[in-house]
C-alpha cells in the first residue's frame, strides 16, 4: 500500500480499470506520451499502447461525441477534458445524447462513458481554469456526477464511475491533486456511487461540502472544536444522484448546517442540498440553512482569487453565526 | 526554390449514371445488371414514398406528430443503405426513412417513433444502428466513435452517417470529419444536399462551391453524386464503404437532390420558395427515373407497377393500423431507462407516475 | 391597443426595438423570409431589410459567438435559437465569453446581446423540443435570465432585455405562444428586469411559478379558491437575478408555498428559490417548502408528455397537502 | 454529358520571400525597400522576445502566472499585426504578444494580465481589440461578429484573428470560417502553425496536407506562408486585409513556424519531443533571419544590435518593475464589472468582499 496523491490515485484507478477490462479506453488531449497536463494518465500509453490510450485532436465537443459512439459500441471510454473551463462545448453531447441514449432507445443502446476533468480553483491559474461546473451536470437526468475529495475516495469512486453502466461526470478538485497523500490500496474495490461520506461526526452543527471545499470544512471543524463547537463534516462526493438521506440524518441530529460551495452562489449545487433539507428536514432545524458560497461573480483573475474562495475561516465564521441563532 | 509554389491541389468529381430520363450516361456498375437488385431498389423507394404519404396523412388528422417527409430524396437514403453490409452501422439524420427501412427498421417502429413513442427506437432488426438525430449534425461524432470502435476491434465494418446540407455548417460535422481523417476511420459521410435547410437555400449556407469539399478540410476525399440517381448513389457508397472497411479511411459523398415537400408537416414552404422551382425539380425525381430505366430495360410494366403500389399500400396500412392500435406505455416506463437501474436515492420520485388521485382535479 | 398572443407580442417588441434603435439586429436560422419557425420574426425582414434581419447558416455555436462579436462592436444582436434543445452548443460562448466579456476587460468591451428561444413542453413535440434550460443559465454570473408568462409581460420584458447593457437569455414558453390573447399597448415601455410579478394575492399559501407553469398555477389557485383555500400566485419572470424579496414577502404572509417547476426536479431553479426561502424566511414557515416538479427523467416522447408535466391538478394537490401540514 | 466530370478544383500556394539566411527568394514587396519599415519589424520582434524572456524569468521566481512563450513565432504575430490598419481589430489567441505590442497594448498591461490582474485587458491603446482567448479557437467566432459589424456599418475595416494549428480542429473555427465565407466578411484568419498543440504534433491534429485548406470547406482562399519570414507574413496579411476591406471577403493564411519553447511555463516539452528536433528548427527562426537580411542590406550592424538590446531590456525591465509595484485591486472590484451595474437584488452578496472580521481565523 502506498501513500498517494489524489492525481496518483486517479492514475492508479485508471490503470486498474484498464487492466481489468479491455473495453476501457482513455482518450483526450495530451493523455498519451505527455501523460496528461496533470499527469493523471502518466504511463498508461507505455503500458497499454496506442489502441487503449488515444491522443485526440483539440476538440472537446468531438471528444464527448466520440465517446458516445464508442460507448454505444460497448467500449468504456474514459475521456479527459484538460480543464473544466473547456467542458462547455461538451454540454450538447452530454445533455442531448450521452445522458439520454438509453432512454431514447429503451435500453437498446447505452452510454457507459466517463468524462473526467480537473475542476475548481485554488491554484492561481489563468482565467477559465478554475471553473466549478457541477451544478449544470447535476441537473441532467440520466447522468451521474461524482467529485472525490481525497486520494482514497478518488480511487474507489473512479473505479465505480468507470464500471457504472451509465455516463458519469467525474470532477477532480485541481487544488487537491497534490495537496495531500493518503494510503491507497490498489485492491480494485469501488465505492458506492450514491453515498455521501460522513467524515466527522458532530453534535452541534453539520458542515456539508464537496470537492476542494472538504479539506476547508475539516479545517474549520478543527478550529470550531477548539472553541467548543462540535461540528460534523459531510463530503457529498456523489452529487447526482445526491445522498440526501445521509445529509438529513446528520442535520436532524444537529439541527444546524452550513453548506459550503465553491461555485458562485445562485443556482449552485448548494441550492439543491438546501432545498432537500427544507423539504424534508424542516422540523429538525434549529437555525436557518446557511449557504456559504462566493457572490455571483466570475471567478476573478489569480490576484484576487483568495478573496473569492470560501475557506476554513469563512466556514468557521458562518458556523459560529449559525450556532448563535436562537 | 521560387518565392511561391503550389503546396497542395484538390478536386471534386461529380457522377451521375442515369440521366433524368433513366438512360444510362455510361457503363453501369455490376449490380445494375442484376434485375433483382434494381427491382429491390425500386421497391424500397416506393415503400419509402408510400410510408411518407401515410405519415403525412396521419399527421394531418392528428394521429402522428410533426413529420419530416423524404419526398424526392428516396434515392439518397435507399442507395446509401443498399450499399451497406448488415453489420455496418447506420447513423442517420431524420429524413432517412428509406435507409432505415432498408436496414430492417419496421414500418411499425417508424410510425411509433414519429407518433411519439420511444419504443419506435428499440429496433428489433438493426440493433446497433443509431436512432435518428434530431439535433442537426450532432450525430456525425457518434458515427466517428462507432467507426473508431470498429477500427480498434480490427473489424471489417464501417459506419455510414447521413445528414443534410444545413448540417455541414455545424462544427460537430467538421470535427467528426477531422477525426475520421486523422485516424483513417472506416466512416462514410453522406450529405443529403436537398437544396434547403428549412427556408435557407444551399447558397446561403456556405460559400463552398460544393459541399463535398468540406472533406478537403479533413484531408479526406469528397465527391458529388447525383442524389436522384439511385444507381450512382449505391455505387458510390459501395465503393466508399469497401475502401473504408479495407482500412482506406473515410469518404464524403455529397448527394445532389431536392426536397420536394415542405420541410416538415409544421412548415409551409410556399413562404420562401416558388411553386415553379418545385415543379421544375419534379422532372429529376428518383422514383420515376428508376422506373423509366426499368421499363427501358424491359424489367417493369404497368401491371408490375400496379401490383407493387397495391402491395405497398396494404403493407403500410397494416403497419399504420397496428401503430394506431398500440396503446401508450404506462407513465412509469419513463423512468425505466433513465439509468440501467433507477437509483435508490431517487426512489420516492417515482410516486409522480402513480395514477392521479381519483376524484380530485385542478 | 390590440389583443395579441405571446408570440405576436414578441414580434411587436422586436419591431419596436428595431425601430427605436438602429443597433438592434435580429439573427438566427429562418428568421428572415420565413419569419421564424414560430413566426416571432414575421415581417421584420420586409420592414427592416437584410442588414437588420439575418438568416444564418445552421450553426448555433456560431450564432452565439457571432453575437458576442457584434455586441462587442456596439450592436445589440437579438439572436433566435429555434428550440431550446438546440441551445446547448451555445453554452460555451455564453459562459466563457458573453457573460464575462465585461468582467474580463474591466468594462472596456461588453456584450449587450439577447439570446431568445422557445422553451418548455406542452406542445407534444418530437424529442429535444421541450427542454427547460433555465437553471443552467441562472447559474452563470454576468447573465440575466428572463421568462415571460403572458403577452404583455413578454413585450415589456423583451424590450427591457434588448435595452439591457448585458447579455440576457430570454426563454419564451412555447406552449403559451398562442394559448391566450391579451391587450398589449405598443408603448415602448419596458418592464423591470429584476422584479417578480405577484399575480394574485393569497392569504393561505403562495404558488411560485415561471413560464409555462404560471397559467397552471393560476388555474390551481382558482380550484383552491373554490375549496376555500386562498392561494396567491407569483410569476418569477426574471430568474437571474432572482427577486427573492417579493417571494419572501409573500411567503412571510402565508407561511406556506409550493414552487412549481417544469424541468426535472434536481438542480432546477426551484432549488434556488427553496434555498433562498430556507435561508431567509425560515421563521415564517408554517409548513415545509414544497417543490412540485417532474422526477429526474428525460422529457418523454409526446405520448407520455402529459404524465410528465406538472399541471393545475398536481399543483392543487400539492397545495392541499401543504395546507394540511400542521 | 459524361458519367463523371470535375465539379471543382482548388489549390494551396506556399510563399516565402526570405530564405533561412535572410536572402531574398525573389522580388520583395514595397515596404521591404523602406529601411524604417524593416527596422520597425525587427525592433518589434526583439521587443517581443525580450518581453518573453522576462515573463518566463518572473514566472520562474513566482512573480507571474503560467505563461505561454512565443519564442520563434515572433514573425507571425508581428508580421500580421504590422499589416493591420489602426482601426482594424485584432482578435488574438494567447501567443501573440508581438501582435498585441505592435497594436499598442503596453508591456505593463501584458505583465498585469499574465500576472493575474484583469486590468491588463483594459487596453488604453487599441480599445476595440479583443483580449486573448484562452479557450482555444472560441474567439474565431468573435472575429466573425466583429467583421460582420464592419460590413453592416459599411466601414472599410477588417478583423484579424490568430489561432494555432490545434485550434483548427475545433468546430468553432470551422463555423467561423463558414460564416466569413458565406457573408464575404472582411476577416483574415492567421493560423500560427507552430507544429505542436502542447504534446500533439501537427500530423496528429489533422490529415489535411495543409491547414490552409481548412479554407476550402468555407469556400474562401487559403494559402501557406513561411511564418519565420516576417516580410512574407506582412505582405500576405496586407494583401488579404486590403482585399477584405475592399469587400473581397475572407482569407486564411497558414503561417508555418515552430514553437521553440515549451508549450507554457507549466509544460516540459522534453517529455514528448527531442532536443534534436528543436535545435534543428533554431536555424529557421525569424529574428536572426531578418537581422541577417538587414545586415546584408547594410541596415544593421553590431552596434545597432547592442544598442537595441540594451534599450529593449531597459524598457522591459521598467515595465516589469512597474507591474511588480502595482498593488492588487480591492476584492470588491470583482463585482464592479460583472454587470454594467451590480443588481439591487444581489446587494447583500457584496458583504463577501468586506475585510475579514479582525481577530477571528479559521
Ligand atoms: C442543432 C439544431 N438546430 C436547429 C434545428 C431545427 N431544424 C430541424 S431541421 C433543420 C434544417 C436542417 O437542414 P438540413 O441539414 O439541410 O437537413 P434537411 O432538413 O434539409 O434534411 C433545422 C434548422 C435542429 N433540429 N437542430
Ligand atoms: C478549448 C480548449 N481546450 C484545451 C485547452 C488547453 N490548451 C491550451 S493551449 C492548447 C494547445 C493549443 O494548440 P495550438 O492551437 O496549436 O496553439 P499553440 O499553443 O501551439 O500556440 C491546449 C490544449 C484550451 N485552452 N482550450
Ligand atoms: Mg437540406
Ligand atoms: Mg500549435
Kindly give the number of the ligand 1 atom that is closest to the alpha carbon of B135: 26
> Least CA distance to D334: which residue of chain C?
C103
Which cell numbers in the block locate residue D27? Answer: 522580388
The segments of chain C whose pLDDT lies below 50 read none
Torsion over CA: C265, C267, C269, C274 (sign): positive
Q: Any residues with CB less than 8 A from the CB of D239 and at least 6 apart, and which?
A: none
pLDDT for residue B359 is more than 60? no
Residue B1's pLDDT is 58
DSSP 8-state symbol, A4:
E
Out of C59, C308, C312, closest to residue B334 by CB: C308
Tell me: the pLDDT tens digits for B118-158? Answer: 999 999 999 999 999 999 999 999 999 999 999 999 999 99
Taking the whole predicted model, whether its pTM rises above 0.95 is answered as: yes
Probe target for ligand 2 pocket from D77, D197, D203, with the most ligand atoms within 8 Å of CB:
D197
Gap from CA of A171 to ligand 2 centroid (Å): 20
**Reported confidence tier of residue B362, pLDDT bands at 50, 70, 90:** very low
Chain B residues with CB-CB distance to A93 below 8 A: 138, 141
DSSP string covering B194-229, please?
Answer: -SEETTEEHHHH-S-S-STTHHHHHT--EEEEETT-
Measured from the Cβ of residue D23, the count of other Cβ atoms closer than 10 Å reads 12
8 Å CB contact of C68 and D121: no
> Least CA distance to C88: which residue of chain A?
A92
Catalytic residue numbers of C read: 129
Residue C176's pLDDT is 98
Catalytic residue numbers of A read: 129
Q: Whose CA is nearest to atom 17 of ligand 2?
A: D164
pLDDT for residue B92 is more than 90? yes
Tell me: the pLDDT tens digits for B17-66? Answer: 999 999 998 899 999 999 999 999 999 999 999 999 999 999 999 999 99
8 Å CB contact of D346 and C108: no
Out of A57, A70, A108, closest to residue B121 by CB: A108
8 Å CB contact of B148 and A66: yes
**D130 shares contact with chain C (CB less than 8 Å):** yes
Q: Any residues with CB less than 8 A from the CB of B121 and at least 6 apart, and which?
A: A104, A105, A106, A108, B109, B113, B131
Torsion of CA D130, D136, D139, D144, to 10 degrees: 140
CA distances from C56 to B156, C22, C64, D113, D172 (A): 40, 20, 11, 35, 15
Residue B356's pLDDT is 62
- Strand order, beta sheet including B187-193: B89-91, B159-164, B187-193, B251-256, B222-226, B4-15, D4-15, D222-226, D251-256, D187-193, D159-164, D89-91
Distance CA B18, CA B231 (A): 7
User: CATH assignment of A2-184, given 3.90.1150.10, 2.40.160.60, 3.40.50.970, 3.30.950.10?
Assistant: 3.40.50.970
Distance CA B275, CA C27 (A): 27
Task: Report which of B260, B140, B119 is spatially closest to residue B188, judged by C-alpha positions.
Answer: B140
Cα-based angle B288, B292, B298 (whole degrees, multiple of 5) = 140
Cβ < 6 A, ligand 2 pocket: A 29, 58, 60, 82, 86; D 95, 134-136, 163-167, 192, 194, 196-198, 259, 263
Tell me: the pLDDT tens digits for B164-216? Answer: 999 999 999 999 999 999 999 999 999 999 999 999 999 999 999 999 999 99
- Which residue in the block uniquely carries the three cell numbers 414580434? C11
Q: Chain B: nearest CA to A105, how far in angstroms?
A: 5
- Which residue in the block uniquely carries the three cell numbers 383552491? C224
In which element (H, E) is residue A198 found? strand A197-200
- Which residue in the block uniquely carries the three cell numbers 445494375? B32
Would you say D283 and D228 are in contact if contact means Cβ atoms under 8 Å apart?
A: no
Give me the residue spans of the domains in chain A: 2-184, 197-324
Tell me: the pLDDT tens digits for D176-189? Answer: 999 999 999 999 99
**Reported confidence tier of residue D362, pLDDT bands at 50, 70, 90:** very low
Distance CA C15, CA C39 (A): 13
**Reported confidence tier of residue D355, pLDDT bands at 50, 70, 90:** confident
Chain B residues with CB-CB distance to A71 below 8 A: 145
Gap from CA of A218 to ligand 2 centroid (Å): 36
Q: Residue C291 in 3-state DSSP? A: strand
pLDDT for residue D358 is more than 90? no
8 Å CB contact of A285 and C282: yes
Considering the candidates D259, D289, D291, D293, report the single residue annotated as catalytic: D259
**C242 shares contact with chain D (CB less than 8 Å):** yes
Beta-bridge mates of residue D164:
D192
Start-end ranges of CATH 3.40.50.970 in chain D? 14-329
Tell me: the pLDDT tens digits for D223-279? Answer: 999 999 999 999 999 999 999 999 999 999 999 999 999 999 999 999 999 999 999
**Reported confidence tier of residue D26, pLDDT bands at 50, 70, 90:** confident
Chain C residues with CB-CB distance to A282 below 8 A: 278, 282, 285, 287-289
Beta-bridge mates of residue A257:
A206
Gap from CA of A280 to ligand 1 centroid (Å): 44
Residue A12's pLDDT is 98
Domain B14-329 bears CATH identifier 3.90.1150.10:
no
Probe target for ligand 2 pocket from A34, A57, A58, with the most ligand atoms within 8 Å of CB:
A58
Distance CA D297, CA D37 (A): 13
Selected residues 6-25 of chain D with any CB under 8 Å from a CB in chain B: 6-17, 19, 25
Would you say C187 and C160 are in contact if contact means Cβ atoms under 8 Å apart?
A: no
> Least CA distance to A33: which residue of chain D?
D272
User: CATH assignment of C197-324, given 3.30.70.380, 3.40.1360.10, 3.40.640.10, 3.40.50.920?
Assistant: 3.40.50.920
* Strand D196-197 to D200-201 pairing: antiparallel
Q: For B190, phi and psi rounded to 5 degrees?
A: -115, 120
Tell me: the pLDDT tens digits for A150-205? Answer: 999 999 999 999 999 999 999 999 999 999 999 999 999 999 999 999 999 999 99
Residue D360's pLDDT is 43
Q: Whose CA is nearest to atom 7 of ligand 1?
A: B136
**D184 shares contact with chain B (CB less than 8 Å):** yes
Would you say C80 and C169 are in contact if contact means Cβ atoms under 8 Å apart?
A: no
Chains that touch B (3 or more CB pairs under 8 A): A, C, D
**C246 shares contact with chain D (CB less than 8 Å):** no
**Reported confidence tier of residue B357, pLDDT bands at 50, 70, 90:** low
Residue D268's pLDDT is 96
Distance CA B175, CA D206 (A): 10
Which cell numbers in the block locate residue D271? Answer: 517529455
Distance CA B17, CA C249 (A): 75
Which cell numbers in the block locate residue D259? Answer: 514553437
- Which residue in the block uniquely carries the three cell numbers 476501457? A24
Gap from CA of D200 to ligand 4 centroid (Å): 9
Chain D residues with CB-CB distance to C141 below 8 A: 338
> Least CA distance to B130: which residue of chain A?
A109
pLDDT for residue D30 is more than 70? yes
8 Å CB contact of D7 and B210: yes
Distance CA A14, CA C99 (A): 36
> Least CA distance to C141: which residue of chain D?
D338
Chain C residues with CB-CB distance to B114 below 8 A: 126
pLDDT for residue D1 is more than 90? no
**Reported confidence tier of residue A3, pLDDT bands at 50, 70, 90:** very high
Rounded mean pLDDT, A46-61: 98
DSSP 8-state symbol, B64:
S
Q: Chain D: nearest CA to B297, how far in angstroms?
A: 19
Preceding amide of A241 cis, omega within 30: yes
CA distances from C88 to A93, A151, B205, C136, D137 (A): 8, 33, 21, 10, 18
Considering the candidates D263, D289, D291, D293, report the single residue annotated as catalytic: D263
In which element (H, E) is residue D7 found? strand D4-15
Tell me: the pLDDT tens digits for A195-246? Answer: 999 999 999 999 999 999 999 999 999 999 999 999 999 999 999 999 999 9
Give the ligand with the smallest distance to the CA of B92: 1
**A174 shares contact with chain B (CB less than 8 Å):** no
Beta carbon of B134 within 6 Å of any ligand 1 atom: yes
**D210 shares contact with chain B (CB less than 8 Å):** yes
Q: Residue D5 in 3-state DSSP? A: strand
What number is the ipTM of this complex? 0.98
Q: Any residues with CB less than 8 A from the CB of D61 and at least 6 apart, and which?
A: none
**D267 shares contact with chain A (CB less than 8 Å):** yes
Distance CA C72, CA C65 (A): 11
Beta carbon of B71 within 6 Å of any ligand 1 atom: no
Q: Residue A136 in 3-state DSSP? A: helix
Distance CA B312, CA B309 (A): 5
Distance CA D177, CA D187 (A): 9
pLDDT for residue D37 is more than 60? yes
pLDDT for residue A252 is more than 60? yes
Tell me: the pLDDT tens digits for D76-134? Answer: 999 999 999 999 999 999 999 999 999 999 999 999 999 999 999 999 999 999 999 99
Amino acid at each position: 500500500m502506498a501513500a498517494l496523491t489524489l492525481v496518483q490515485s486517479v492514475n492508479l484507478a485508471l490503470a486498474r480499470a484498464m487492466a481489468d477490462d479491455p473495453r476501457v479506453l482513455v482518450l483526450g488531449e495530451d493523455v498519451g506520451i505527455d501523460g496528461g497536463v496533470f499527469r493523471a494518465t502518466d504511463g498508461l500509453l507505455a503500458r497499454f499502447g496506442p489502441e487503449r490510450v488515444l491522443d485526440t485532436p483539440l476538440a472537446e465537443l468531438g471528444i464527448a461525441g466520440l465517446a458516445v459512439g464508442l460507448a454505444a459500441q460497448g467500449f468504456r471510454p474514459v475521456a479527459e477534458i484538460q480543464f473544466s473551463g473547456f467542458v462547455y462545448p461538451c454540454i450538447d453531447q452530454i445533455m442531448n445524447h450521452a445522458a439520454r441514449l438509453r432512454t431514447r432507445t429503451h435500453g437498446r443502446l447505452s452510454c457507459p462513458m466517463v468524462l473526467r476533468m480537473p475542476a475548481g480553483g485554488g491554484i492561481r491559474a489563468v482565467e477559465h481554469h478554475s471553473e466549478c461546473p457541477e451544478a449544470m451536470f447535476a441537473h441532467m437526468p440520466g447522468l451521474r456526477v461524482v467529485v472525490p475529495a481525497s486520494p482514497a475516495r478518488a480511487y474507489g469512486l473512479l473505479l465505480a464511475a468507470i464500471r457504472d453502466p451509465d455516463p458519469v461526470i467525474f470532477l477532480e478538485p485541481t487544488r487537491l491533486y497534490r495537496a495531500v497523500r493518503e494510503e491507497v490500496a490498489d485492491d480494485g474495490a469501488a465505492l458506492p456511487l450514491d453515498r455521501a461520506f460522513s467524515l466527522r461526526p458532530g453534535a452541534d452543527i453539520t458542515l456539508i461540502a464537496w470537492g476542494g471545499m472538504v479539506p476547508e470544512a475539516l479545517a474549520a471543524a478543527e478550529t470550531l472544536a477548539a472553541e467548543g463547537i462540535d461540528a460534523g463534516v459531510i463530503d457529498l462526493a456523489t452529487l447526482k444522484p445526491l445522498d440526501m438521506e445521509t445529509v438529513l440524518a446528520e442535520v436532524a441530529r444537529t439541527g444546524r448546517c452550513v453548506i459550503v460551495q465553491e461555485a458562485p452562489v445562485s443556482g449552485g449545487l448548494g441550492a439543491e442540498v438546501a432545498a432537500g433539507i427544507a423539504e424534508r428536514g424542516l422540523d429538525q432545524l434549529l437555525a436557518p440553512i446557511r449557504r456559504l458560497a462566493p457572490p455571483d461573480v466570475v471567478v476573478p483573475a489569480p490576484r484576487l482569487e483568495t478573496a473569492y474562495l470560501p475557506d476554513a475561516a469563512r466556514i468557521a465564521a458562518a458556523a459560529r453565526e449559525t450556532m448563535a441563532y436562537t | 526554390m521560387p518565392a511561391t509554389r503550389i503546396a497542395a491541389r484538390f478536386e471534386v468529381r461529380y457522377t451521375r449514371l442515369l440521366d433524368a430520363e433513366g438512360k444510362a450516361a455510361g457503363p453501369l456498375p455490376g449490380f445494375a445488371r442484376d434485375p433483382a437488385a434494381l427491382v429491390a431498389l425500386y421497391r424500397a423507394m416506393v415503400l419509402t414514398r408510400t410510408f411518407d404519404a401515410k405519415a403525412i396523412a396521419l399527421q394531418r388528422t392528428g394521429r402522428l406528430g410533426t413529420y419530416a417527409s423524404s419526398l424526392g430524396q428516396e434515392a439518397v437514403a435507399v442507395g446509401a443503405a443498399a450499399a451497406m453490409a448488415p453489420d455496418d452501422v447506420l447513423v442517420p439524420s431524420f429524413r432517412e426513412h428509406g435507409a432505415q427501412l432498408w436496414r430492417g427498421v419496421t414500418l411499425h417502429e417508424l410510425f411509433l417513433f414519429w407518433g411519439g413513442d420511444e419504443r419506435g427506437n428499440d429496433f428489433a432488426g438493426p440493433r446497433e444502428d443509431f436512432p435518428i438525430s434530431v439535433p442537426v449534425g450532432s450525430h456525425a461524432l457518434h458515427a466517428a466513435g462507432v467507426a473508431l470502435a470498429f477500427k480498434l476491434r480490427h473489424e471489417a465494418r464501417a459506419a455510414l452517417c447521413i445528414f443534410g446540407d444545413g448540417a455541414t455548417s455545424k462544427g460537430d460535422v467538421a470535427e467528426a470529419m477531422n477525426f475520421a481523417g486523422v485516424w483513417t476511420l472506416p466512416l462514410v459521410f453522406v450529405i443529403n444536399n436537398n437544396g434547403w435547410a428549412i427556408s435557407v437555400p444551399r447558397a446561403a449556407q456556405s460559400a463552398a462551391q460544393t459541399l463535398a469539399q468540406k472533406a478537403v478540410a479533413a484531408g479526406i476525399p469528397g465527391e458529388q453524386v447525383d442524389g436522384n440517381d439511385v444507381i450512382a448513389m449505391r455505387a458510390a457508397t459501395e465503393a466508399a464503404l469497401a475502401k473504408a472497411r479495407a482500412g482506406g479511411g473515410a469518404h464524403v459523398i455529397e448527394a445532389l437532390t431536392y426536397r420536394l415537400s415542405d420541410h416538415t408537416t409544421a412548415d409551409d414552404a410556399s413562404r420562401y420558395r416558388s411553386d415553379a422551382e418545385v415543379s421544375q425539380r419534379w422532372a429529376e425525381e428518383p422514383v420515376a427515373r428508376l422506373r423509366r430505366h426499368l421499363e427501358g430495360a424491359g424489367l417493369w410494366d404497368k401491371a408490375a407497377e400496379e401490383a407493387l403500389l397495391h402491395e405497398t399500400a396494404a403493407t403500410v396500412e397494416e403497419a399504420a393500423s397496428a401503430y394506431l392500435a398500440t396503446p401508450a406505455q404506462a407513465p412509469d416506463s419513463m423512468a425505466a431507462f433513465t439509468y440501467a437501474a433507477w437509483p435508490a436515492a431517487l426512489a420516492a420520485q417515482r410516486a409522480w407516475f402513480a395514477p392521479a388521485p381519483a376524484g380530485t382535479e385542478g
